[in-house]
Each structure stands twice: as C-alpha cells, then as structure tokens.
Structure 1
Amino acid sequence: MSKEVTERFSFINSVVGWEGQINATHVATKFQLSRQSASAVLKDYRQQYPHYLQYDASQKAFIATQAFNAVFINNALSNSFAQYLSAMPLAETISASQFTTHSNCVFEVEAPLRNINPLQIRPILRAIREQLQIDIGYISLSSPNYLDRIIQPHALIFDGLRWHVRAYCNKNQQFRDFTLSRFNGVATFEGKATHSAVQDKKWNTIVDVVIQADPRFSDQQKRIIEQDFQMQQGKKTIPTRAALVNYLLRRLHIDSYKNSPEEQQIVLTQASRKAIAPYLPQPT
C-alpha cells in the first residue's frame, strides 16, 4: 500500500472512528480532490475493508459497522482524538494539538490522558456540528451518580491533560465546561440548540494574561526568564478567551504561588491579576 493510500485510509479510519460516519465531502475537503476522486478513494477503502462501512441513504453517508467499532474502539487512544481534530476541525473554536514526527533523540514526557470513549464522543461531535441539544448522562465530584444533563455544546477544549466540552447547561441555565471523559449512557438529541457560542459571553471575551519574571529573582536571573519567554520590556502578553483563563494559568503553573522563585519563575503582573480576577473560579 502506497504512502498516499495509507494516509487516506488512516484519515477515513479517524473520521469514521470518532464521528461514526463519513462521506465523499470529508475526503474531498481534506485532500483537495474532486468529488468523483473522493468517491473512488472510499470505494477503494471498502474493497480493502468490505465489512467496515455500510451506506445509509437517509444520512447520505457511510456508517461504521459493528466490525469497524470492534477494531477501532479497542485501539482508540486519546491522542488519536487530538489527531482527528487537527485533521478535521469542526469550527474555529476547536483547538487541537498538532502532531509531528520526532526523531529518536527527541522525547516527549507523556502523562496519562483521561479515558475518551469514541461511542460517547460521536453524538457530542454531531451536536456541535449540527447545533443540537443533547441529553446525556454525566457525573461530577459533587454528583458521583450519573444524572441526565441536557446541554448545548459548541466547542471542545484541551487543557494539556483533559478534554472538556464547552456547553450551555439547561439545568443551571449558564455556559459551563464539562469533562469529556465523564459522560456516559445513551445520548438522545432534543432538537435544535437555543444557545450557541454567540451568547457565550466569557467565550467571546478576549483578555490579556500578562506575565513577568518572579520579582524575588535577581536582575540577572530575571533576564534569563525573560529570554525563556521572549518577554519584551520584562513582560509577555498572552491573549486568550476569558473562559480559558484558568486552564492557561494551570499550564503556566501560576494558578498558585510557590515558596521559592526558582519553583515559581513567572507570575502575573498586578494589573493582569486584577483584570482576570472576574473570570477565575470563586472559592467556595
């Protein structure tokens, strides 16, 4: 099998695995092919794997069969979900890690990612794509038993360790983040969404997170930190969505104050801390 065919078949596996379906438009858009050529790619795939896809005329798409699910679900990993998102962006609001091939002398520290079940993700992705309300089971530390939640999702968020769903919660009547690995049960669609990203004020509010070297450092030490972070005039400005501020602080390890400057390294400027305070979780 040529490299080109392998790449195309891998893309088909990824889309079908996470969406549960695929059509010629997916392939044509990804590889910049005519619809006829894209259909030929799908035909070749079905000849190679005759039991993996079944055409559904009502959806005008090829649907994953139980045979496909048996193979994909057992081998699906969280990082393959990120690969899917990077290959098939659902909207501008979705950000996904970009994957590169590393040489044998470059290594990445891997942390255990939370479990993501493709069968649970498919209806959520569809709800985002088609702007639908979805009724699905969800657990949290405050509610350890699965409870049905009707949500209206509009984006996915990756914080470095976990995937989250940004959605309007009908129960709480506000936009919230839900941990993707905590959904369970059979999902049902509840019609068109009445709330979208347009109404999500925190999502549409852009704030500047401004960092500087820990003031406890000497001037020479500060210059090292400033060089590390490419600071200008002793500061680095990072624009982000207000809804994502807390995730960013965690990634930068400045969500709490450390005892030593060597451990802390960077801090928020006083003005920035004051500006982003309304968007941080309030202590209970």
Structure 2
Amino acid sequence: MARPKKIASLTKADKKTSTMANKWSRLRRIEFIDFRLCVDGKINRADLVSFFNISVPQASLDLSYYRELVEKAKPSRTNLIYDKHLKVYVRADDFIPIFPNRCSPETFFSDLKMVSTNQLDADRCFFGFTPDVGVASLHNPRRIVSPEIMCNLIDAMRAHLVLHIVYSSVSSNKKDDYLIAPHSFGFNGLRWHVRAYCYDSHTYKDYVLTRIVSTEKPRTAAPSDRFPDPIGNGFKEIGTGGKDDKDWN
C-alpha cells in the first residue's frame, strides 16, 4: 500500500499570513465584546461562539484577553463583571470602550438605521438587542453596484486611466456609451456617484453608480482632452485629473 504523502510545512509567508489573519479575527472579536457591553450591557461566551463560530474555550480566552486590555489601558478600568446569578458578563460602572469610534452614538445610530432598513450585512451587525425604530422618511430601495464595476472604477482612479461605460440615462430612457476618466466618489445622502471627466461632452460630470450598466477593464492612460474650440479658432485642451476639476475642488 502506498504511503500517504507528507503534508508540506508552512512557509514563512504562510505562517505570517496565518498569524495576521488570527490577529485580525481576534481584533474583531474584542471589538464585538466592546460593542455588546456598550450597547447591550452584557455578553457571554455563547454570543461569541454563535457569531464567530469559535469554540467555547476560545471565547473564554477572548474574554480574558479583553479583561487584560482594559486593565492595562489608560485609565485602567474593569469594564465587565461576571454576574453569577445571570451567568453573563455585565457592563461595569467604570466602563469606557476600547473602541470609542465603534461604540460612538454616530456609529450606533448609523448602524441602527441600516439594520432597520435591511441594509447592514449580517457579518457586520454586532447588535444583540435592537431597539424598535420608526423611520419618518421615505427610503429608496437598496441599490446594488456590481463588484466588477466598482473594481474597474477604482482601478481607473488609482492609475488615472480612461474607462468606457454604458450608462442608463433617466432623462432619455436609453443606454448611452461614454468614455470617462473617473477621479472621485461622492455621496449625496441617498446615493453614490462617481465624479469623472467625460470625453464625449468635454466636461466633468457626476454619474450615479447604480445607473452604470457595464464597464470595460481600464487599460489606457487618461490623456488631456484636446478638441476644437467652440468659441474661438484652433483647439482647446483640458486636463482630466481630479486636480483639474475646478467645480469639484
């Protein structure tokens, strides 16, 4: 019978990647503990086991590690106390979050709004108790941007490349082709736009991301736009980068 092949040992790069992944996972779990104590006022091992799919011993280690962090923090504090009657860790009177931004009212209410409108992904939702929310304004349906379009836009921005897009216009109710040089994203409170120079109209424009039907992979550097001057004789040349967009700046 043939001997089973020996499994190759991890390379240094593999070990480094594995170590970084474990650190990142632990960081998220510590952030989770911090958030649950702040918002729910309590946490137990089962919360960690259920959310992160880890073992009970690992959950115990994470809670112990969290306790060590708050004891070494400035100012030193307790943050959590084990309630033997409830069999959970409860928020201590001296609680100060380790992650103040994650536990800030701004983040809490932003996430709460997303939860109430089904826009917060499950792996980002740290809520245990979720208060009832009444939204007193109309919400547009969740708009989906394909990963391919997002990556092509980012690639074009990073290297200042031209990008061919097919765009669905509301005014004309048809799909138009444009050659653009994108440089920034913008959010108006309701939807995301991409700010770009349009070679077809010889000006900078905003394009709603969810109306971009398709894109080609960007490969060509975005040149300055040179075209016949509509006012005078000769040609006019315009830069197509973000620094050249006066209205944006």
Shorter-normalised TM-score: what interval?
Answer: 0.3 to 0.5
Rg (Cα) greater in structure: 2
Q: Give TM-score scaled by structure 1 length.
A: 0.36
Q: Give TM-score scaled by structure 2 length.
A: 0.41
